[in-house]
Amino acid sequence: MAQIRIENLCKEFGSFTAVESSTFTIEDGEFFMLLGPSGCGKTTTLRMMAGLELPTSGEIYIDSEEVGMKRASERDIAFVFQMFALYPHMNVGKNMSYPLISQGMSRKQAKEKVLEVARILGIEDILNKPIGGLSGGDRQRVALGRAIVREPKAFFMDEPLGALDAEFREHMAEELRALHDRMGATTVYVTHDQLEAMQMGDKIVVMNHGVVEQFGVPQEIYDWPATRFVAQFIGSPSMSFLNFEATINKGDSVFDLGEYEVKIPKMLEEATGKLSLGVRPEHIHFSDRSAYRGETIAVEYLGTTQIVTIRTPHGVIKARASSDTPIASGENVGLEFDARTLSIFHEETGRALQSEANAGVLNRV
């Protein structure tokens, strides 16, 4: 398997910049997610790594070898597409053995290798079936099997579960992650689904408008988003924001939100002007003793929890509460925030201010 290193990677199509100065490292054996909305540059980045697009500038290293201008066939990688890209005139076994035979392996060796991989994927009973009669899930397994039999240095996957229905997609995501853990393969996976990225990834790169917004492990990105975009894109519901104008000084661990004093992690930088206090729904608590109050405008029951939408003097926020908490729409409620989990963002740049809580994460962005 392989370490993959991206340095200042850029891709331009005429006057349009699809990927701008991306830099990150994928360690050997990691399950690595490229996450972002449609058009953010994640698929273009993957295609450059795979050799299907040439970069405008920057370097791509696979096992310390610079491969930016090499053909895909020279990079020893396997690509799995969203739409499977299987040969309809071949049965399952021939689809899986084709890349081996085309590389000069004997049919006997190829058959043995295909049987070995088919057992791992649980598809040995369909090796003689035509592609046309398979379900979407079985087709995806065949596409994965055709990639796995080659034993490449890395697997590149472009939304491979996107064509499946929601229930089966979740099941296949679990199977794919379990398969990765058994094989220990370096895997780069593109998705727009933040839940899929958080569920499967060892590390995540979050992209927006061609720029890497944040890079790190899922828990760090969720707890300490580097920008407002990441805070809004990750989480369901996403992080809520209370907007205010103030001066934050180095060393501050409290500030006034109107007439309400808010405790925050000790700040390591200063900012003045329009700011936002970011808080996750599960870190908003109801308290009759609190001086900071809001009006509930919607209550969504979700089984074990409920999502409460609240209008405050500084914006609309969402809180996650236990389903047995008695809350009604139109109720005036007191609110408290978990000081250890709060982030402050600069409105103009969208960037999170450094505090003692998030400095270790933001310094890696």
CA 75, 80, 82, 83: dihedral to nearest 10 degrees?
110
The predicted structure's pLDDT at residue 163: 66
Closest to 351 measured CA to CA, from 194, 231, 206, 222: 231
Cβ count near 354 (within 10 Å): 19
CA 239, 163, 157, 36: dihedral to nearest 10 degrees?
-20
Q: Name the class of domain 238-357.
A: mainly beta
Q: Which helix (H) or strand (E) segment is 260 a member of?
A: strand 260-263
The predicted structure's pLDDT at residue 365: 63
The predicted structure's pLDDT at residue 84: 67
Closest to 292 measured CA to CA, from 277, 305, 282: 277
CB 246 within 8 A of CB 275: yes
Cis-peptide, bond into residue 225, ω within 30° of zero? no
Three-class DSSP category at 328:
coil
Longest dimension (CA), the chain: 78
Name, in order, each residue with C-beta under 8 angstroms of 347's C-beta and a sequence gap of 6 or more: 243, 273, 274, 275, 276
Question: Amino acid letter at 85?
Answer: A
Burial tier of 63 (Cβ tally within 10 Å: 0-12, 13-18, 19+): middle
The predicted structure's pLDDT at residue 175: 79
In angstroms, the CA 268 to CA 250 distance is 5
Residue carrying the six token digits 């360690």: 27
The predicted structure's pLDDT at residue 355: 95
In angstroms, the CA 264 to CA 123 distance is 54
CB 129 within 8 A of CB 142: no
CB 206 within 8 A of CB 191: no
Three-class DSSP category at 298:
strand
Name, in order, each residue with C-beta under 8 angstroms of 108's C-beta and a sequence gap of 6 or more: none
Residue carrying the six token digits 């729409």: 329
Q: Sign of the CA dihedral 289, 327, 239, 172?
A: positive
Domain boundaries, the chain: 4-223, 238-357
What CATH number matches the domain at 4-223, 2.40.37.10, 3.40.50.970, 3.40.50.460, 3.40.50.300? 3.40.50.300
CB 81 within 8 A of CB 155: no
The predicted structure's pLDDT at residue 1: 64
Question: Amino acid letter at 292?
Answer: Y
Three-class DSSP category at 359:
helix
- Written as six digits, the tokens of 11 are 């891709």
The predicted structure's pLDDT at residue 87: 82
The predicted structure's pLDDT at residue 102: 84
In angstroms, the CA 76 to CA 82 distance is 20
Threshold 0.85, pTM exceeds: yes
The predicted structure's pLDDT at residue 294: 95
Q: CA-CA distances (angstroms) from residue 78 to 32, 44, 61? A: 15, 16, 16
CB 266 within 8 A of CB 355: yes
Walk along the chain (365 residues) and give the pLDDT tens digit of each residue: 689 999 999 999 999 999 999 999 999 999 999 999 999 999 999 999 999 999 999 999 999 899 999 998 889 888 887 666 788 888 999 899 988 888 888 888 888 888 988 887 888 889 999 888 888 778 888 888 888 888 788 989 898 877 667 777 787 788 788 888 888 889 999 999 999 999 999 999 999 999 999 999 999 999 999 999 999 999 999 999 999 999 999 999 998 887 788 999 999 999 999 999 999 999 999 999 998 999 999 999 999 999 999 999 999 999 999 998 888 899 999 999 999 999 999 999 999 999 999 998 887 66
In angstroms, the CA 291 to CA 333 distance is 10
